[in-house]
Amino acid sequence: MDFEPRMALQLVNESALCINRIRKKNSLGHQGFQLVNGMGRLVTDEQVHSLLNGHTMEQAQDLLVNLGHQRQLSGHYAGDIIAIDPHRMISTSRRVMAKKKKVPDAPSEKMLQTFFSLCTQTGQPVMATMASTGMPTTRATKNLLGATEKIIGTNSLLIADKEHFTRELLEGIKKHGHYDILVPALNTQRIKDLAENLVYQPLWAGYAVAETRFSFKGSGESFRLIAQRTGETGSQYAYRAFITTSQKPARELLSKDYDRRWGIEEFFRFENEMGIKRVSTHNLNIRYGKLALAMMAQAANYQLRKKLKTTYRSWDAKHLAREVLAWADGDVRVKDDTIIVTFYHPPNHINHHEYMNLPKILEAENINPKIPWLFDFKLDFRFK
């Protein structure tokens, strides 16, 4: 038996169930959780750490790139707008490390930095990278974009936040021309003066836009600065400025495209419990490996969501795990070469006919119904 893939599968299933270290819950082990992964027992923390520490960050990134290719072929990405954002996970590591704040008024804490790119139309992650808190956001973002480009290609618009308003990043994106970017400018006095002295074009009551050229001090590169003004009278005016390399109309960029950036915040809130909330060890080989396996679970969950009835697709990961993936009444038996799972009081959020006689359904789609990690058994379902 090839043991390492089965160990990895246990981590994927743990992420899908939104439970960290499921092997601590012996009741699940007694119910056969280990058998779902093709093993006779649950593996320990030490075994998991040894497995993941034997692989590098580069290998984890290659795994995520290959996963991204499969997701693109499966139609998980659409449109041409990509949101990018850091996601900092609180760490309980005992290492001496730089502390950072998740929000300005919060205390500094030990954190592990992750960086995500996400398709704003489907809300699905394209790529994730990882770094210690010592890695500057600009450098980490360049690594993220390099990996994202291997999956999604070029000619997309990147939607970012103020952390990405840096000369190095903006000039790099403009120079290479693989992507366009829209990023809010920092609220410095220079930016304020520029925005307040522009001639604005009203678009509707209380909202107007204007634009000019902007260069960083000491730089020969020029960027398009777009500003929005809200408020009805001079005493109510509030200004906000953006830098972009896109040639789209200002109205489209500010009133339509930039609002899509909040999709990545929804992703963090929606999928946080799958393993992107807290971390213990700060060993990046281990953490990046766990992140890659969690993203595999997230991709599988997305496929499952598409089969759920519409009213149930808005469940977050924790709710989905509790109501669909675990704690159901049923039994498991083996008949010939098929494992038959029977659900009693079957849930009404799935179409039962899509799972009954599953081997025949898969064969009709030219898919091998045998499951390699379950010793080539087939899987079928009954609902009573």
Instruction: State the Cα–Cα distance between residues 195 and 243, nearest whole angstrom.
Output: 12
Give CA torsion, residues 103, 105, 107, 109, to 10 deg.
Answer: 10
The answer to whether residues 159 and 153 touch, using CB atoms and an 8 Å cutoff, is no
d(CA 29, CA 71): 31
- The domains found in the chain, sorted by start residue, are 3-57+281-325 (no CATH), 58-268 (3.90.350.10), 330-383 (no CATH)
Identify the helix (H) or strand (E) that includes residue 224: strand 223-230
Q: What are phi and psi of 77, to 5 degrees?
A: -120, 140
pLDDT in tens, the chain (384 residues): 578 888 888 889 889 988 876 555 544 555 567 777 777 778 888 888 899 999 999 999 999 999 999 999 999 999 999 999 998 877 777 776 667 666 677 777 777 889 999 999 999 999 999 987 778 889 999 999 999 999 997 789 999 999 999 999 999 999 888 899 999 999 999 999 999 999 999 999 999 999 999 999 988 899 999 999 999 988 899 999 999 999 999 999 998 999 999 999 999 988 988 887 777 777 889 989 999 999 999 999 999 888 888 777 888 899 888 888 876 778 888 999 999 989 888 777 878 888 899 999 999 999 999 998 888 999 999 988
Say what the pLDDT of residue 309 is. 80
Question: Which pLDDT does position 310 carry in this prediction?
Answer: 76
Tens of pLDDT along 115-155?
999 999 999 999 999 987 778 889 999 999 999 999 997 78
Q: Give the Cα separation of 344 and 382 in Å (integer).
A: 9
CB 158 within 8 A of CB 179: yes
> b/e per residue, 319-349, with b = 16+ CB within 10 A?
ebbeebebeeeeeeeeeeeebebebeebeeb
Q: Tell whether the torsion through CA atoms of 187, 189, 194 and 195 is positive or negative.
A: positive
Contact between residue 80 and residue 155 where contact means Cβ atoms under 8 Å apart:
yes
* Strands 278-279 and 81-91, sheet pairing: parallel
Task: Look up the pTM and report it.
Answer: 0.88
Would you state the pLDDT for residue 277? 76
Report pLDDT for 168: 94
